[in-house]
């Protein structure tokens, strides 16, 4: 008998639950077609629950989540809650506690999707960013001196461990090999200024690449120049590997060149543990409850989730459905799609 997949669902804040509902609609259709079973459990980690109860994600919640095969997340961020609380208490808490050390963000322009980059199309915009997801500036090392005084000092330290850098690089090399496109991995950093952290990254990159991945071409690009190349020559990239902060920044630009936040998906991956998949665009509170938000990013996250739990064929079919929906939609932007949120979900599910 086929195994029953156990998936944890966190709708989250704002439009998160709406886009997740469309993803689950697609999951239902794809499971039927590919003959697998699944069970879902929903977790209410929202800003509204926090306001009522003061609860975020507890260690006990984390232990429970560890018993699932994967997590499907909508969005975090509630304008009623002070910025940073939900982000730290839910999203970053889960990434760190579940040691999801990779943030995988494909930047793929699908046919019929508008890009602000002139003269570039699906052939030119097709790469993947591997963002380190548990270190760097995100560890929260630092502090104040003389806070509130004119002599105040604030430090925020980027932590890069050999182990953390190495496991991220190895994942990126393996991914480049498996992707089997141009077999090119670009390290994106800032070796000319941040000479400690990026020296470690650069040494590890070449050591590991030379020894264990000789067929993968190694390239390097400064992060600022990378932003320029994303716009000028995105076709230069195959797979990119970078640290947490740079990865955060360049993948927002990446999302824009692939058609916007409505289509950009990502995975927080622990290759040995439980991974979590999400649309990268956030909770878009002003569109909540209007049935106008684009669910394709969430459906793309579902596609990545299916790949992660070993349902590759189902994942490939979901991608076909997304590609089809793109040909039927007027725009990827909320309210301008020429369809409602639920109609986009129906279009993908119906194509399956």
Sheet of 70-75: strands edge to edge? 37-42, 4-12, 70-75, 275-279, 265-269, 102-108, 126-132, 239-242, 184-189, 217-222
| Shortest Å distance, C-beta 30 to ligand IPM | 25
Six-digit token string for 300: 């793309």
- Using CB distances below 5 to 8 A depending on partner kind, what does residue 113 bind out of Mn ion, ligand IPM, none? none
Would the CA dihedral through 243, 246, 252, 257 be positive or negative?
negative
- Using CB distances below 5 to 8 A depending on partner kind, what does residue 317 bind out of Mn ion, ligand IPM, none? none
SS3 per residue for 296-320: HHHHHHHHHHHHHCCCHHHHHHHHH
User: Is the CB of 87 or the CB of 124 nearer to ligand IPM?
Assistant: 87
User: Is the CB of 88 or the CB of 222 nearer to ligand IPM?
Assistant: 88
Cα distance between residue 337 and residue 326, in whole Å: 10
- Using CB distances below 5 to 8 A depending on partner kind, what does residue 91 bind out of Mn ion, ligand IPM, none? ligand IPM
Q: Which residues pair with 269 in a beta bridge?
A: 102
Scanning 109-238, the segments in alpha helix (DSSP H) are: 162-179, 197-212, 223-232
Among 238, 248, 278, 311, binds Mn ion (CB under 5 A): 248
| Shortest Å distance, C-beta 23 to ligand IPM | 17
User: Is the CB of 132 or the CB of 238 nearer to ligand IPM?
Assistant: 132
**Interface characters, 189-228, with Mn ion (x: CB under 5 A):** ----------------------------------------
| Shortest Å distance, C-beta 136 to ligand IPM | 10
| Shortest Å distance, C-beta 248 to Mn ion | 4
Interface region with Mn ion, contact rule CB under 5 A, candidates 242-250, 254-262, 286-294, 330-338:
242-250
Q: Which residues pair with 275 in a beta bridge?
A: 70
Place of tokens 């992660």: 308
| Shortest Å distance, C-beta 249 to Mn ion | 8
Place of tokens 């509630």: 78
User: Is the CB of 26 or the CB of 92 nearer to ligand IPM?
Assistant: 92
CB of 295 closer than 8 Å to CB of 23: yes
Six-digit token string for 54: 């003061």
| Shortest Å distance, C-beta 309 to ligand IPM | 21
Cα distance between residue 252 and residue 244, in whole Å: 13
Six-digit token string for 111: 């046919």
Residues that bind ligand IPM (CB under 6 A): 87, 91-92, 248, 280
Six-digit token string for 159: 């932590």
Q: How many binding residues for Mn ion (CB under 5 A)?
A: 1
- Using CB distances below 5 to 8 A depending on partner kind, what does residue 87 bind out of Mn ion, ligand IPM, none? ligand IPM
The yes or no reply on residue 243 touching Mn ion (CB under 5 A) is no
| Shortest Å distance, C-beta 252 to Mn ion | 6
Cα distance between residue 48 and residue 157, in whole Å: 32
Rule CB under 5 A: which residues touch Mn ion? 248
């Amino acid at each position: 008998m086929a195994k029953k997949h156990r998936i944890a669902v966190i709708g989250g804040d704002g439009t998160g639950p709406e886009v997740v509902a469309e993803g689950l609609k697609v999951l239902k259709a794809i499971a039927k077609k590919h003959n697998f079973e699944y069970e879902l459990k929903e977790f209410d980690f929202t800003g509204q629950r926090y306001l009522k109860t003061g609860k975020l994600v507890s260690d006990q919640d984390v232990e429970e989540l560890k018993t699932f095969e994967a997590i499907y997340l909508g969005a975090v961020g509630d304008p009623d809650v002070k910025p940073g609380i939900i982000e730290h208490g839910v999203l970053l808490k889960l990434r760190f506690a579940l040691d999801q050390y990779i943030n995988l963000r494909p930047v793929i322009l699908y046919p019929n999707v508008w890009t602000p980059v002139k003269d570039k199309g699906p052939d030119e915009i097709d790469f993947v960013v591997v963002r380190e997801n548990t270190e760097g500036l995100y560890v929260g090392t630092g502090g104040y001196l003389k806070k509130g005084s004119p002599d105040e000092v604030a430090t925020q330290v980027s932590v890069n461990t050999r182990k953390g850098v190495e496991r991220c690089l190895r994942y990126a090399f393996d991914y480049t090999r498996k992707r089997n496109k141009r077999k090119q991995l670009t390290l994106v950093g800032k070796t000319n200024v941040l000479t400690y952290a990026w020296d470690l990254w650069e040494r590890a990159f070449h050591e590991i690449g030379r020894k264990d991945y000789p067929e993968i071409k190694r390239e390097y690009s400064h992060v600022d120049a990378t932003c320029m190349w994303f716009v000028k020559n995105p076709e230069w990239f195959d797979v990119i590997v970078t640290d947490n902060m740079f990865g955060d920044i360049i993948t927002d630009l990446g999302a824009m060149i692939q058609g916007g936040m409505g289509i950009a998906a990502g995975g927080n991956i622990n290759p040995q543990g439980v991974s979590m998949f999400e649309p990268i665009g956030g909770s878009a509170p002003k569109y909540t409850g209007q049935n106008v938000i684009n669910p394709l990013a969430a459906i793309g996250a579902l596609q990545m989730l299916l790949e992660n739990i070993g349902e590759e064929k189902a994942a490939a079919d979901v991608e076909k459905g997304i590609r089809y929906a793109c040909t039927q939609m007027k725009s990827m932007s909320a309210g301008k799609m020429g369809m409602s949120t639920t109609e986009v979900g129906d279009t993908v599910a119906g194509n399956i």
